[in-house]
């Protein structure tokens, strides 16, 4: 099969790496791809959000299957457009991807179907939002309704901080239209776990639990990022908690979306908090997490292409999805200054040496004229190691990453060691 993966980050590199092991796949393409992906797939210079260009290219080049990995093309209806053009695609249609693109939609869905989550109210009027914040007190959480690159959430420790967040989203237009409506919710406590589930709209198959580290600096300090590293399995996610999540959260969510006429096919991302009152939903995403995907897919034993086909065709129940018993750690090497301003075009060395003990997924890289790999984004590489135990996987990822360097390289030294 000729398969196109849409996107160009570490997550897409990991998906392509797993697909490249499938006997079903004959040729891989990626749009737009990156410097490392180019070693596995032919990169096509089309922006991930250009739905019309992507569909025409896939049609003209006779793709047998397209995997839409990032959130924005899913929200824009790329899967709908591909399927309508007769090209089988993996990922939810826009009417199901809304679980990520509208937090208000998700909160209403959870309320209607009694799925445990933080108590909330949604607002379009700033004064009403401010009054609610003052009434509820701090700590309190303020969230922009729409997609805001993972940065539209403020966990406010004081009423003043929450007021400021609501003002900047609703009055100053910090996130444009995405922030004109906000959700204000109760602040929950407890360890966070991500569970990615494959689903065909009816059946579901949870992947091993994972945990990402969103803050830029050690000790979970500093600004939120796309994710500075991930481990899998996440400690603390016991079989008993897994059973409760399946009964109280995963199955009810899949059933609710189907009942609403929005069957979800693809990967549904459950961001969970294990609170003293039991597991609750922090957020849904409509796709694999990045960098959770890199850690989790390195534990997959089954053929990813077969899983994608089963999700698309409604036959996931006939498949036995197998995982190794081991553990994985993905350590992100970022540009100095990320998530703020950073330089690009800097040469990276040591990739080959690191690649002997770990898989180095590329995120923000490009190939220079002489073939040299250069930095081209905030998150540059995801050094991913597997081992029998989590501690050994973490150690191996750090050791392997030690071989790599580029000017101003920044990474956290405590991935997998904080909750």
| Binding flag, residue 191, ligand AMP (CB under 6 A) | no
Structural contact between residues 242 and 231, judged by C-beta atoms closer than 8 angstroms: no
Q: Of ligand GLY, ligand AMP, none, which one sits near residue 78, judging by CB under 5 to 8 A according to partner kind?
A: none
The residue behind tokens 């997490």 is 289
- Using CB under 6 A as the binding rule, whether residue 100 contacts ligand GLY is answered as no
- Count of positions on this chain that bind ligand GLY (CB under 6 A): 7
Question: Does residue 290 belong to the site contacting ligand GLY (CB under 6 A)?
Answer: yes
Under the criterion CB under 6 A, does residue 283 sit at the interface with ligand AMP?
yes
Exactly one of 6, 75, 118, 331 binds ligand AMP (CB under 6 A); which one?
Answer: 118
Strands 373-375 and 365-367, sheet pairing: antiparallel
Which one of ligand GLY, ligand AMP, none interacts with residue 38, CB within 5 to 8 A by kind? none
d(CA 330, CA 42): 25
- Could you tell me the smallest distance in angstroms from the CB atom of residue 100 to ligand GLY? 9
Nearer to ligand GLY, 201 or 382 (CB): 382
* Cα(324)–Cα(258) distance, integer angstroms: 31
- Pick from 389, 332, 74, 47: nearest CA to 217: 332
141 binds ligand AMP (CB under 6 A): yes
Q: Nearest distance from residue 401's CB to ligand GLY, in Å?
A: 19
List CB contacts of 406: < 8 A, sequence separation 6 or more: 333, 346, 347, 348, 349, 375, 380
Q: Distances in Å between the alpha carbon of 269 and those of 5, 38, 147, 272?
A: 19, 27, 15, 9
Contact partner, 212, from ligand AMP, ligand GLY, none, Cβ < 5-8 Å per class? ligand GLY
Structure tokens at 292: 């959770």
Residue 361 beta carbon to ligand AMP: minimum distance, rounded to whole angstroms? 22
Q: Which of 77, 88, 139, 150 binds ligand GLY (CB under 6 A)?
A: 150
Instruction: Identify which of 262, 417, 298 has the alpha carbon closest to the alpha carbon of residue 17.
Output: 298
234 contributes a contact to ligand AMP by CB under 6 A: no
Q: Which does 272 bind (CB under 5 to 8 A by kind): ligand AMP, ligand GLY, none?
A: none
How many of the other CB atoms lie within 10 Å of CB of 238?
A: 11
List interacting residues with ligand AMP (CB under 6 A): 118, 141, 143, 150, 153, 155, 185-188, 192, 214, 271, 282-283
């Amino acid at each position: 099969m000729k398969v196109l993966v849409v996107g160009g980050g570490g997550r897409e590199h990991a998906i392509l790496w797993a697909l490249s092991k499938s006997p079903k796949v004959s040729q891989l393409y990626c749009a737009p791809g990156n410097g490392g992906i180019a070693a596995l797939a032919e990169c096509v210079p089309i922006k991930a959000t250009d739905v019309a260009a992507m569909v025409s290219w896939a049609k003209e080049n006779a793709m047998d299957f397209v995997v839409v990995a990032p959130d924005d093309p899913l929200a824009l209806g790329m899967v709908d457009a591909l399927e309508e053009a007769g090209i089988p695609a993996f990922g939810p249609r826009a009417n199901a991807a809304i679980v990520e693109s509208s937090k208000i939609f998700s909160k209403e869905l959870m309320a209607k179907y009694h799925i445990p989550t933080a108590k909330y109210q949604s607002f379009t009027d700033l004064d009403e939002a401010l009054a609610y914040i003052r009434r509820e007190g701090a700590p309190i959480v303020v969230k922009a309704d729409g997609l805001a690159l993972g940065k539209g959430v403020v966990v406010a420790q004081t009423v003043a901080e929450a007021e400021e967040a609501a003002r900047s989203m609703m009055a100053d237009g910090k996130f444009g239209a995405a922030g004109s409506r906000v959700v204000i919710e109760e602040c929950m406590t407890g360890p966070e776990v991500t569970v990615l589930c494959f689903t065909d709209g009816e059946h579901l198959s949870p992947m091993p639990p994972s945990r990402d580290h969103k803050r830029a600096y050690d000790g979970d300090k500093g600004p939120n990022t796309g994710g500075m590293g991930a481990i899998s399995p996440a400690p603390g996610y016991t079989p008993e908690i897994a059973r409760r999540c399946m009964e109280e959260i995963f199955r009810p969510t899949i059933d609710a979306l189907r009942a609403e006429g929005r069957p979800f096919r693809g990967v549904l991302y459950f961001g969970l908090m294990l609170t003293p009152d039991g597991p609750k939903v922090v957020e849904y995403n409509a796709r694999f997490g990045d960098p959770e995907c890199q850690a989790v897919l390195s534990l997959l034993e089954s053929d990813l292409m077969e899983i994608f086909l089963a999700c698309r065709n409604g036959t996931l129940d006939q498949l036995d999805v197998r995982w190794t018993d081991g553990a994985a750690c993905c350590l992100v090497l970022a540009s100095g200054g990320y998530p703020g301003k950073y330089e690009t075009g800097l040469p990276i060395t040591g990739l080959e040496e690191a690649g002997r003990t770990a898989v180095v997924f590329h995120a923000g890289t490009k190939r220079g004229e002489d073939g040299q790999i250069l930095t081209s984004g905030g998150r540059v590489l995801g050094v991913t190691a597997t081992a029998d135990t989590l501690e050994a996987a973490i150690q191996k990822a750090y050791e392997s990453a030690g071989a790599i360097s580029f000017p101003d390289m920044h990474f956290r030294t405590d991935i997998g060691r904080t909750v």
